[in-house]
Structure 1
């Protein structure tokens, strides 16, 4: 079943290919996108990045950041910014048609890892104007081979991300004990989607045309009228995806002492790793503040930090976004303040936290 049955109009511009890149927190979407953008096949590609949390970071970690970057940082595309996505896509077309931006030949939307993709796809499939100007080419879902099975067990969003995909990209296979069981589960969820390695050619991942053939009845119902239900409203905290998931944004204008930062990471990871859905940030260490440290972590795993040769933007503030499940963000903030020597936490409490990481309110 094809979703683009409208006959072509010779007076209308050729539709612009559009790819939705999704996958749960920490699966490796930004790394894959960087790989894609280095390929000449993706020249003149416009990227839309959606992030979860008060401080946007993903756009700084995508290597090609220029005027053709749109950052939607108000929340998940699946809820509070779905309308903003439509407005952004329409505005980009107006600017392109009027010559106010460099013409782009393709659009990639990287969703937040917490996004339910159904409302996004509904907008792209059924919006009367967008469906004429954009061609939804593929939904690519990135799956972490190390944490993928546990993520599917715990998060309905991850299941939907897999079920709606045209192609599945399996990452971190070198760190996984084995992938046979995970591959079988992914195939059961979406038998029509091939499972590709991260090294697959760009065109093999992005080519084609999105459709419902081979997808289950659940996918058809998700993309129906129910996907249009609004979940935003006055007073909604855009950093809350459900009652148990929250984001905390840790910052420091002054460079951070390396021992303090390493102790903070080790304490948070060892004491509460299972509750850390994602950690990502740029940190200025006191012994080398001109070259920021890129920090990535998922649950108990904190990847080997990468040192950038220079800051990607004029703001040299350390910024660390931590997405938590069933852990009070104020605890993480107080812990960060304690290791930086800030007066927000009483000295006895700081000592207690340092010596007993399990003694946490609400932890």
Structure 2
């Protein structure tokens, strides 16, 4: 993997996730009713054989560029299907002469884990795009049982934005409690809790200008998570690390944690690179590392969010590395004073 400079802004690919029945399709339909959605392509996927969501979405706009993944949950049936769906959207758009999309939205099944989808998208090389994850959170049912916790935690911790839905049916205390749930899972995410449905949809899918450099306050925010099954850790290196060693450590971390690894993000000093390098991973999938500008001063280290992993496990894992490669790992689950 080669360290590259940040690219110019390109059209967005928005991954819309959220638990079953949390209002993803309603949010998407609300957005598609707005004039600013005109240059939007949609891919809809469901776990069942009958693509009900696709029918609902397409019924609102007959001119909507949309394709369906009707062969099961997208995270379980990737192959070339997702790539073919994107190709189909782009081909239809090209033939229509309407110009390029400003965004493509993939609405996933409520059972979908973000990591495998991102892994597939990273292999798609026929168009450039910026990737963003939006997750819905039902104000009437914000908690989850043990069976669905792995999926829900993966969706929420991966999200750039968490959209609280069904607000018109909720009391003020329910809204506050749901925002607290969102904050506990992912304090770094933007929380959107707007009662007006069109305003909520507009905020959820509004264009972004790319990600701002990491700052020390982001570490403190991420470290505020206090869910009993989520561990938040900070890995820090005493000096600049050779890129090959850092890459091996990250790959081994992904292999060690498997699907328990939810998020890895932070700045690291790399030997031979004058700027700090941004490492950003969702699950076991990592984006291309990016050199950050000279103003990216502050604390260096990687925030690791994992499910059902404790400090002793990570410490033992890192102990196998030499002293110049091994980071100091500490538990950061409580907010810094």
Same fold judged by TM-score > 0.5? yes
Q: Which residue of 2 aligns with 1:93?
A: 90
Question: 3-state SS of the aligned residue for 1:148?
Answer: coil
CA distance in 2, matches of 1:133, 1:163: 25
Q: 1:5 to 1:22 in 2, by over 3 A?
A: farther
Unaligned regions of 5+ residues in structure 2, if any?
223-231, 234-261, 265-280, 288-337
Question: Does structure 1 residue 108 correspond to structure 2 residue 105?
Answer: yes
Match of 2:134 among 134, 140, 144: 140
Q: Which residue of 1 aligns with 2:204?
A: 205
Question: Does structure 1 residue 70 correspond to structure 2 residue 72?
Answer: no
Q: How do 1:300-319 residues align onto structure 2 when only pairs under 5 Å count?
A: none
Q: Which residue of 2 aligns with 1:21?
A: 16
Q: Under a length normalisation based on structure 2, what TM-score does the superposition of the two structures give? A: 0.56
Q: Under a length normalisation based on structure 1, what TM-score does the superposition of the two structures give? A: 0.52
Preserved contact between residue 156 and residue 186 of structure 2 (Cα < 8 Å): yes
Q: How do 1:178-327 residues align onto structure 2 when only pairs under 5 Å count?
A: 178-198=174-194, 199=196, 200=199, 202=201, 204-206=203-205, 207-208=207-208, 209=210, 214=218, 218-220=262-264, 222-224=282-284
Preserved contact between residue 16 and residue 108 of structure 2 (Cα < 8 Å): yes
User: Between Structure 1 and Structure 2, how many residues are aligned?
Assistant: 216
Q: Which residue of 2 aligns with 1:274?
A: none
Cα deviation per residue 1:218-237 (whole Å; 9 max; x = unaligned)? 3136443599xxxxxxxxxx
In the TM superposition, residue 65 of structure 1 has moved relative to its aligned partner by: 4.2
Q: 1:7 to 1:67 in 2, by over 3 A?
A: closer
Unaligned regions of 5+ residues in structure 1, if any?
9-13, 228-363
In the TM superposition, residue 156 of structure 1 has moved relative to its aligned partner by: 1.5
CA distance in 2, matches of 1:154, 1:80: 20
Question: Does structure 1 residue 167 correspond to structure 2 residue 161?
Answer: yes
Q: 1:82 to 1:31 in 2, by over 3 A?
A: farther
CA distance in 1, matches of 2:20, 2:186: 20
In the TM superposition, residue 6 of structure 1 has moved relative to its aligned partner by: 5.1
Preserved contact between residue 41 and residue 202 of structure 1 (Cα < 8 Å): no
Question: 3-state SS of the aligned residue for 1:133?
Answer: coil
Runs of 4+, deviation exceeding 6 Å = none
Cα deviation per residue 1:200-224 (whole Å; 9 max; x = unaligned)? 3555323323689556673136443
Question: Does structure 1 residue 117 correspond to structure 2 residue 114?
Answer: yes
